[in-house]
């Protein structure tokens, strides 16, 4: 019997759900996931039913005003996923809900619902799909446009497509034949209709065919383990995903998670050219109206494939049949605010709840995933070679210690007394670039730091220019002649003299992509050079435009940060120059080597994907570092072995789990005191588990980035094994920890499985 009291999760940062009483009329009629209207202070709000109890927890419990839907709006598997996220990531359920359900959906039909459905002309098939196929074949010669429109409609979910995406004359012809109806219906923004022509499937390589056989077995329900697709760059992982999606029965839906939508234009256009049904693209930049449309269309089962960033893991697909996580090692799958969930982990749970096969894929799997494969939790599908016999690029490590003090780039005589500019590109790389360009090939330069120069220092007093809000150096940006903070966005025009001592002795030091671009332009006058970093990609559509220009051969050289490292395919690119991997290697984070290995492997993997072999030159001061040596040898396994040994010795993931308690506050001393007191509470609550050797509490210590946006930062790290040894007691203590933080005037964020400890 259902209790007389109901727990309701609101879209608020409350520590838990609020309790209401169930009025007589609703007794026994409320179900989890259902929306209810409840009184809140002087007003009211919409929440979701999350549980029941027989007794009031406090006095003065107010009644639910009314139930809003017959059928729970939040499908049971999504409700289960939201609850799982709240529990696993120590987050209030209201915030987990907020991450999962678009606002316009939660307030549907109520005052706050800004979004309404819009009607458009929709064409729908009036005869069975099999007959439509036969008719399309008959019409192929006499009325080819009608034939193509029929094929598209037959492939679309429910045989419906917006009329605007099909040939108008052809539709009218089909309507006259009585096989297609055209009527106003809700329009779905964000769903891309299939293009007129679909490319035929490629001939799979040996490894692809073998991998697909296993995936086919999973689709047929013969095996339930998730797959780790470990395929070198250009091995055809995407091909494997496509084939799995195509083979899914038409009443099932697939979910494909990608790390960052702005970089997936190439992938999405590739998918669309190959899939004969509409694809929905889901990401956080969608408007509320678009999210509302997508949610409803997905819920109605009209979308066969959702491609999206981490929040797409919450797409309401009624018969989820396949979940794919591309580039599973990417850190952007982690949400850095409450709930701090990892979309890969959420996707695994979502698939488990739906009983759907999962593919997680990468050329450089995270240590967590590779270890699960080693332990048998995942089945490993290896694609060790590129498709069609294309070789992996040859990677050379260029020891920068042997190439010091190079001559100025331009070769022009230096004005007397001018300081010699250090040259960023060492002569062997410069020569290789010249040769590649002379042969008509394209060249890519990677440097993971944007701006012109990351430090500015006074040569007289030694002071550096720093951000007044953050404890970091300001980066000089040449086009605007200003210094910027990359953490808070502070900017100041470049001063002529040192702000500390007044001497006209400011010197720019170090280098970023702008300086690299300038050097390349000087070295190769007349060549088209493009730059892709967050500065050039920030204008809407500018990033994809740079990629499209380079892809179309409208430029010879591309310079960029890690934005150029990911998943891009440029057949004419044969040379990649990697600068400054040392920056990545030396970050104060235990995952620094893993990130360096991954980024260098990925950026190297852009070279030689067409019919000409690729070459990669990595300039470094640490050519003996195991991460670089393994990346150069395309030897993931030796990296994995070496890195695992280090992680195991120090008790880091994947050999233990971490929980970070991140604190920030306006006042340094108050923060330090609060951090000590909260660490004391954490130690007390984990005392038994610590004594049993299943937990260790470290800190508090100032974060490596100690001050950001005028806030001082400190962190407490808990190492646990298993995770629940820490998460269990902390879950029970969260409310009190948050209360203590609030009383001390500091902000506390609980981050389970943190991906960055900066």
Q: Please state the φ and ψ torsions of residue 458, each to the nearest 5 degrees.
A: -85, 130
Out of ligand ADP, Zn ion, none, what residue 387 binds, judged by CB under 5 to 8 A for its kind, is: ligand ADP
Using the rule CB under 6 A, is 237 a contact of ligand ADP? yes
Does an H or E element contain 213, and which? helix 206-219
What is the footprint of Zn ion within residues 22-41 (CB under 5 A)?
none
Task: Choose between 489 and 504: whose C-beta lies nearer to Zn ion.
Answer: 489
Distance CA 356, CA 225 (A): 10
Out of ligand ADP, Zn ion, none, what residue 208 binds, judged by CB under 5 to 8 A for its kind, is: ligand ADP
Q: What token pair was written down for 701?
A: 């210590």
Out of ligand ADP, Zn ion, none, what residue 428 binds, judged by CB under 5 to 8 A for its kind, is: none
Using the rule CB under 6 A, is 491 a contact of ligand ADP? no
Using the rule CB under 6 A, is 598 a contact of ligand ADP? no
Candidates 407-415, 459-467, 526-534, 576-584: pick the segment binding Zn ion (CB under 5 A).
459-467
Q: What token pair was written down for 665?
A: 């506050």
Using the rule CB under 6 A, is 408 a contact of ligand ADP? no
Task: Choose between 33 and 236: whose C-beta lies nearer to ligand ADP.
Answer: 236
Instruction: For the CB of residue 265, give the shortest distance to ligand ADP in the complex, in Å.
Output: 13
CB 362 within 8 Å of CB 328: yes
Task: Choose between 271 and 453: whose C-beta lies nearer to ligand ADP.
Answer: 271
Q: Please state the φ and ψ torsions of residue 86, each to the nearest 5 degrees.
A: -60, -45
Distance CA 170, CA 153 (A): 12
Task: Choose between 93 and 467: whose C-beta lies nearer to Zn ion.
Answer: 467
Using the rule CB under 6 A, is 366 a contact of ligand ADP? no
Distance CA 196, CA 697 (A): 59
Task: Choose between 379 and 551: whose C-beta lies nearer to ligand ADP.
Answer: 551
Task: Choose between 200 and 413: whose C-beta lies nearer to ligand ADP.
Answer: 200
Instruction: For the CB of residue 270, give the shortest distance to ligand ADP in the complex, in Å.
Output: 7
By Cβ distance, which residue is nearest to ligand ADP? Answer: 236
Residues in the chain: 758
Residue with tokens 């190959």: 274
Using the rule CB under 5 A, is 485 a contact of Zn ion? yes
Identified binder of ligand ADP from the candidate list 47, 72, 226, 236, rule CB under 6 A: 236
x/- contact string, 551-570, with ligand ADP (CB under 6 A)? ------------------x-
Out of Zn ion, ligand ADP, none, what residue 467 binds, judged by CB under 5 to 8 A for its kind, is: Zn ion
Identified binder of ligand ADP from the candidate list 234, 560, 614, 729, rule CB under 6 A: 234
Distance CA 495, CA 499 (A): 8
Using the rule CB under 6 A, is 583 a contact of ligand ADP? no
Identified binder of ligand ADP from the candidate list 83, 146, 147, 235, rule CB under 6 A: 235
Task: Choose between 387 and 629: whose C-beta lies nearer to ligand ADP.
Answer: 387
Using the rule CB under 6 A, is 160 a contact of ligand ADP? no
Task: Choose between 216 and 702: whose C-beta lies nearer to ligand ADP.
Answer: 216
Q: Please state the φ and ψ torsions of residue 288, each to the nearest 5 degrees.
A: -60, -40
Using the rule CB under 6 A, is 159 a contact of ligand ADP? no
Out of ligand ADP, Zn ion, none, what residue 488 binds, judged by CB under 5 to 8 A for its kind, is: Zn ion
Out of ligand ADP, Zn ion, none, what residue 91 binds, judged by CB under 5 to 8 A for its kind, is: none
Identified binder of ligand ADP from the candidate list 231, 339, 365, 665, rule CB under 6 A: 231
Residues forming beta bridges with residue 482, ordered by sequence position: 477, 493
Identified binder of Zn ion from the candidate list 455, 487, 590, 655, rule CB under 5 A: 487
Distance CA 72, CA 81 (A): 15
Instruction: For the CB of residue 483, give the shortest distance to Zn ion in the complex, in Å.
Output: 11
Q: What token pair was written down for 190?
A: 């964000």
Q: Please state the φ and ψ torsions of residue 625, each to the nearest 5 degrees.
A: -65, 135
Task: Choose between 591 and 707: whose C-beta lies nearer to Zn ion.
Answer: 707
Q: Comparing C-alpha atoms, which of 279, 287, 283, 238 is closest to residue 261?
A: 283
Instruction: For the CB of residue 616, give the shortest distance to Zn ion in the complex, in Å.
Output: 35
Candidates 18-26, 228-236, 613-621, 725-733: pick the segment binding ligand ADP (CB under 6 A).
228-236
Residues forming beta bridges with residue 67, ordered by sequence position: 36
Q: Comparing C-alpha atoms, which of 208, 561, 542 is closest to residue 385?
A: 208
Task: Choose between 470 and 616: whose C-beta lies nearer to Zn ion.
Answer: 470
Distance CA 655, CA 41 (A): 47
What is the footprint of ligand ADP within residues 190-209 (CB under 6 A)?
202-205, 208
What sign has the CA pseudo-torsion 246, 247, 248, 251?
Answer: positive
At 747 the three-state DSSP class reads strand
Q: Which residues, at least 6 apart from 352, have a Cβ–Cβ distance to it below 8 Å? A: none
Using the rule CB under 5 A, is 465 a contact of Zn ion? no
Instruction: For the CB of residue 703, give the shortest distance to Zn ion in the complex, in Å.
Output: 14
Identified binder of Zn ion from the candidate list 490, 570, 597, 639, rule CB under 5 A: 490
Task: Choose between 83 and 238: whose C-beta lies nearer to ligand ADP.
Answer: 238
Say whether the peptide bond before residue 700 is cis (omega within 30 degrees of 0). yes
Q: How many residues line the site for Zn ion (CB under 5 A)?
A: 7
3-state helix/strand/coil string of 449-495: CCCCECEEEECCCCCECECCCCCCECEEECCCCEEECCCCCCEEECC
CB 661 within 8 Å of CB 440: no
Candidates 37-45, 233-241, 339-347, 552-560: pick the segment binding ligand ADP (CB under 6 A).
233-241
Using the rule CB under 6 A, is 264 a contact of ligand ADP? no
Q: Comparing C-alpha atoms, which of 578, 572, 641 is closest to residue 608?
A: 572
Task: Choose between 387 and 484: whose C-beta lies nearer to Zn ion.
Answer: 484
Task: Choose between 551 and 689: whose C-beta lies nearer to ligand ADP.
Answer: 551
Distance CA 174, CA 180 (A): 6
Out of ligand ADP, Zn ion, none, what residue 236 binds, judged by CB under 5 to 8 A for its kind, is: ligand ADP
Q: What token pair was written down for 555?
A: 């430029």
Distance CA 360, CA 617 (A): 30
Q: How many residues line the site for ligand ADP (CB under 6 A)?
A: 16
Instruction: For the CB of residue 145, give the shortest distance to Zn ion in the complex, in Å.
Output: 58
Distance CA 58, CA 51 (A): 16
Long-range pairs, 15-19, Cβ under 8 A, ≥24: 15/92, 15/734, 15/735, 15/738, 16/92, 16/93, 16/735, 17/47, 17/50, 17/51, 17/93, 17/94, 18/47, 19/53, 19/56, 19/57, 19/58, 19/61
Out of ligand ADP, Zn ion, none, what residue 147 binds, judged by CB under 5 to 8 A for its kind, is: none
Number of H helices, E strands in the chain: 23, 31
Out of Zn ion, ligand ADP, none, what residue 203 binds, judged by CB under 5 to 8 A for its kind, is: ligand ADP
Candidates 131-139, 229-237, 411-419, 643-651: pick the segment binding ligand ADP (CB under 6 A).
229-237
Using the rule CB under 6 A, is 393 a contact of ligand ADP? no
Task: Point out which residues bind ligand ADP (CB under 6 A).
Answer: 202-205, 208, 231, 233-239, 387-388, 569
Task: Point out which residues bind Zn ion (CB under 5 A).
Answer: 467, 469-470, 485, 487-488, 490
């Amino acid at each position: 019997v259902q209790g007389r009291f109901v727990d309701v999760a609101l879209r608020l940062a409350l520590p838990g759900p609020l309790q209401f009483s169930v009025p007589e009329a609703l007794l026994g009629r409320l179900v989890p996931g259902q929306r209810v209207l409840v009184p809140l202070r002087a007003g009211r709000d919409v929440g979701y039913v999350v549980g029941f109890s027989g007794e009031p927890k406090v006095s003065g419990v107010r009644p639910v005003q009314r139930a809003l839907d017959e059928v729970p709006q939040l499908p049971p598997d999504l409700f289960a996923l939201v609850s799982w996220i709240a529990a696993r990531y120590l987050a209030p359920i209201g915030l987990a809900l907020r991450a999962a359900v678009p606002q316009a959906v939660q307030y549907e039909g109520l005052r706050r619902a800004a979004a309404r459905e819009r009607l458009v002309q929709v064409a729908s098939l009036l005869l069975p799909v099999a007959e439509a196929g036969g008719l399309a074949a008959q019409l192929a010669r006499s009325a080819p446009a009608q034939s193509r429109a029929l094929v598209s409609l037959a492939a679309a979910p429910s045989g419906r497509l917006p009329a605007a995406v099909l040939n108008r004359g052809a539709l009218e012809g089909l309507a006259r034949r009585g096989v297609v109806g055209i009527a106003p219906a809700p329009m779905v923004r964000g769903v891309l209709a299939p293009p007129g022509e679909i490319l035929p499937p490629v001939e799979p390589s040996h490894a692809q065919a073998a991998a697909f056989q296993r995936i086919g077995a999973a689709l047929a329900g013969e095996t339930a383990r998730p797959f780790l697709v470990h395929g070198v760059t250009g091995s055809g992982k995407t091909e494997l995903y496509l084939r799995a999606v195509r083979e899914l029965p038409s009443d099932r839906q697939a979910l494909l998670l990608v790390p960052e939508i702005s970089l997936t234009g190439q992938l999405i256009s590739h998918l669309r050219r190959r899939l004969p049904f509409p694809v929905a693209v889901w990401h956080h930049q969608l408007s509320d109206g678009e999210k509302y449309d997508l949610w409803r269309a997905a819920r109605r089962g009209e979308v066969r494939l959702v491609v999206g960033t981490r929040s797409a893991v919450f797409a309401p697909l009624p018969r989820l049949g396949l979940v794919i996580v591309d580039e599973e090692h990417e850190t952007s799958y982690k949400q850095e605010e409450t709930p701090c969930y990892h979309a890969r982990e959420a996707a695994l749970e979502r698939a488990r709840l739906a009983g759907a096969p999962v593919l997680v894929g990468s050329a450089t799997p995270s240590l967590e995933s590779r270890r699960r494969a080693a332990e048998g939790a995942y089945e490993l599908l290896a694609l060790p070679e590129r498709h069609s016999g294309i070789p992996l690029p040859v990677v050379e490590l260029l020891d920068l210690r042997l190439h010091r003090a190079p001559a100025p780039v331009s070769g022009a005589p230096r004005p007397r007394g001018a300081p010699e500019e250090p040259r960023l590109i060492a002569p062997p790389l410069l020569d290789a670039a010249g040769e590649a360009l002379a042969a008509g090939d394209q060249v890519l330069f990677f440097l993971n730091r944007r701006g012109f120069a990351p430090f500015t220092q006074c040569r007289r007093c030694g002071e550096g220019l720093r951000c007044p809000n953050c404890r970091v150096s300001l980066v000089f940006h040449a086009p605007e002649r200003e210094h910027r903070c990359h953490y808070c966005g502070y900017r100041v025009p470049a001063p002529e003299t040192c702000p500390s001592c007044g001497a006209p002795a400011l010197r720019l030091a170090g280098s970023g992509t702008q300086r690299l671009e300038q050097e390349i332009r000087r070295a190769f006058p007349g060549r088209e050079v493009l730059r892709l970093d967050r500065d050039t990609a920030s204008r809407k559509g500018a990033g994809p435009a740079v990629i499209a220009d380079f892809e179309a051969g409208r430029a010879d050289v591309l310079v960029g940060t890690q934005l150029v490292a990911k998943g891009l395919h440029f057949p004419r690119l044969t040379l990649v120059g990697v600068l400054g991997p040392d920056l990545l290697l030396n970050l104060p984070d235990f995952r620094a080597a893993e990130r360096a290995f991954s980024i260098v492997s990925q950026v190297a993997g852009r070279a030689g994907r067409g019919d000409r072999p690729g070459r990669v030159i990595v300039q470094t001061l640490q050519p003996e570092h195991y991460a670089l040596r393994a990346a150069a040898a395309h030897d993931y396994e030796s990296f994995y072995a070496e890195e695992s040994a280090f992680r195991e010795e120090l008790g880091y993931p994947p050999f233990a789990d971490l929980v970070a308690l991140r604190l920030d506050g306006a006042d340094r001393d108050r923060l330090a005191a609060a951090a000590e007191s909260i660490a004391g509470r954490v130690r007390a609550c984990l005392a038994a588990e610590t004594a049993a050797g299943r937990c260790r509490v470290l800190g508090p210590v100032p974060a490596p980035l100690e001050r950001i946006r005028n806030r001082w930062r400190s962190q407490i790290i808990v190492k646990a094994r298993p995770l629940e040894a820490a998460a269990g007691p902390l879950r029970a203590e969260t409310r009190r920890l948050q209360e203590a933080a609030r009383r001390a005037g500091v902000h506390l964020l609980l981050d389970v499985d943190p991906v960055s400890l900066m």
